[in-house]
Chains A and B, each alone.
Chain A
Amino acid sequence: MKEIASMHHVTFSYDTEEEGSSLISNKALDDVSFTLYEGQWLAIVGHNGSGKSTLAKLLIGLMFPSSGEVNLFLESLSEENLWEMRSKMGIVFQNPDNQFVGSTVQDDVAFALENNGVPHEMMVKRVHEALEQVKMTDYVNHEPHHLSGGQKQRVAIAGALALQPELLILDEATSMLDPQGREEVIEIVKKLRTEIGLTVVSITHDLEEVLLADRVLVMNEGKVLMTGTPHEIFQQGTELESIGLDLPFALRVSELLRDTGVELQGNHMTEEELVNELWTFHFSK
């Protein structure tokens, strides 16, 4: 498997100097390591202040680690190769309103291509393809600001896709959307992953998004608290709750059912699993 990104013992401090006293350092990240392979979907979760946003900033080279190493595409990320590395990744941020530059949807998607000197014909083709992938071809000449939240994020994803990135980073890309917008965006990302095998890192609060990932990294107080498949992670129910994270709906209902005295066989991650168990063991007898 080809390695796309990795961190090795990464520590990062926002230093606060105080006069007369020694340097007080606040470790926002503390000895973080992980490896991401081609085609994988990695979800990074943690409550506000757990270090997940710092991790994202280091991964895209907005900041550099105090110690340790960030590798992208098998090269150590540095100020020298930063721009080359960035050209291989697409990033979608939280607030859809803060990332538009073009006055129409297609201008916006074309913006980065133009900056990268892509020839016009190629550009037209790639813009069209990218908008097709996010199902926004009906809106090519719309003003981005008049779109719904979910549509805006889909255009932002198209902007990233047009660059044909090897890695797509979603930095809380669904957290400001209404439920419908969230579903739209997740639907698109799911499709991209199966159709073009895109490698995805999503930094998120959304549990349904976490369930779609191959691997989950749970951050707490700057450290990697646990890592594993969504199934493995959500088995740790109470520990996740104690660090301020939520559990998937089906798991919460399972726990509540046990409290009322209903016996269940397993810990169910999805509604389908829970419905099936209820049917098999409780209603069909």
Chain B
Amino acid sequence: MDISLQQVGYLYAKDSPFEKRALQNVTAAIPSGSYTSIIGHTGSGKSTLLLHLNGLLKPSEGVVKIGDTMITSQTKGKQLKDIRHRVGIVFQFPEHQLFEETVEKDIMFGPLNFGVPKEIARDRAHELVKLLGLPEDVLQKSPFELSGGQMRRVAIAGVLAFKPSILVLDEPTAGLDPRGRKEIMELFHRLHETENLTTILVTHSMEDAARYSDRILVMHEGTSVMEGPPEEIFEQEEQLHSYRLGIPRSVHFQRKVENMIGQRFGRIALTEEMLAQELSVAIERKGERPC
């Protein structure tokens, strides 16, 4: 399902003395099957935008189109049920939302609410536990007995349980240690591929945005200001700086070396692996040239 945002604006507490504008004239396209990262400084409107992607907020101005469904300020809540079903949001610290007696019940909760028969919901919970790399015996445990990393996986399973075709991730690795962060990011990468998802990642990590996504949307002061593939976005260091954003560590290092040797590499090093490759190519080339 494609998502498109057309001149979306949003005001908190509209028509009250506390009215505050959070979004203005946001226009963006998120094609079906893409992995899009939304980056922006704290307060840039990322989180407000995210809440529009499954109708938790309706735009005050403009149109949010998700598949065939148009959401405007006039859309009634009832019409959004289908959207909620198709767009899963993993909020920050999703483990705070666990509440059931057992992991199995917790994962089944969403599907049962959407009217999925109990047996099917149970089977799905079992499949998901496997898919997320959790031991099967967690199903009958209380979610609160699990480690932090396991709790987070259970909460993610709860979102995947109603088979969303669009998965929205709000800083899914916040508070995890380095290994946990990597595992979770690799997990979403795998799910994106195997489950044919459209993935939208809200992140502060330029490294994650560069490594995992094929499109990037930059937000600044409530407006969409840049949109494109990571190769193009991270070329524009100065512009990103003006939005109080940086570039991935590997690109930063690349620029340092390029300035030192007075020569540009063939391509932008979005990951550390690419950086090592480009460096070794540059070193080889240097060796071949007669002094």
Contacts and interface: CB of A to CB of B under 8 A. Distances in A.
Interface of A: 47-49, 148-149, 175-176, 178-181, 205, 244-246, 249, 252-253, 256-257, 259-262, 271, 274-275, 278-279, 282-283, 285
Nearest to B277: A260
Given A149-B42, A178-B204, A256-B275, A48 B257 contact: no
Interface string B41-70: 111000000000000000000000000000
Given A176-B174, A179-B246, A253-B253, A48 B148 contact: yes
Contacts, number: 90
A279 B179 CA distance: 32
B276 A259 contact: yes
Contact of A275 (B148, B176, B206, B257): B257
A283 B42 contact: no
A14 to B, nearest CB: 13
A275 B244 CA distance: 26
Contact of B253 (A148, A260, A261, A271): A271
Contacts of B277: 260
A261 B277 CA distance: 10
A260 B250 CA distance: 16
B279 A278 contact: yes
B16 interface: no
A20 to B, nearest CB: 20
Nearest to A246: B178
Chain B contact-residue range equals: 35 or more
Nearest to A244: B179
Q: Nearest 3 pairs between A and B by C-beta?
A: A256-B276, A244-B179, A246-B178
Given A47-B177, A178-B42, A257 B279 contact: yes
B207 to A, nearest CB: 9
A262 B42 contact: no
By secondary structure, the B interface counts as helix
Nearest to B147: A49
Interface in B84-114: none
A228 to B, nearest CB: 20
B261 to A, nearest CB: 5
B239 interface: no
A167 B283 CA distance: 48
A208 to B, nearest CB: 10
B177 A244 contact: yes
Nearest to B92: A176
Contact of A262 (B204, B256, B283): B283
B77 interface: no
A249 B271 CA distance: 11
A271 B283 contact: no
28 contacts: A47-B177, A47-B178, A47-B179, A48-B147, A48-B148, A48-B176, A148-B42, A148-B43, A176-B174, A178-B204, A244-B178, A244-B180, A249-B249, A249-B253, A252-B272, A253-B250, A256-B273, A256-B276, A259-B276, A262-B280, A262-B283, A271-B256, A274-B253, A275-B256, A275-B260, A278-B260, A278-B279, A282-B283
Interface string B251-263: 0010011001100
A180 B253 contact: no
Contacts of A245: 177-179
A246 B205 CA distance: 16
A246 B185 CA distance: 15
B229 interface: no
B286 interface: yes
B117 interface: no
A168 to B, nearest CB: 22
A249 B272 contact: yes
Contacts of B260: 275, 278-279, 283
B91 to A, nearest CB: 15
Contacts of B206: 179
Contacts of B249: 249
Nearest to B286: A283
B179 A283 contact: no
B286 A253 contact: no
B149 interface: yes
A245 to B, nearest CB: 6
B141 to A, nearest CB: 15
Given A262-B279, A271-B253, A278-B279, A179 B178 contact: no
B228 interface: no
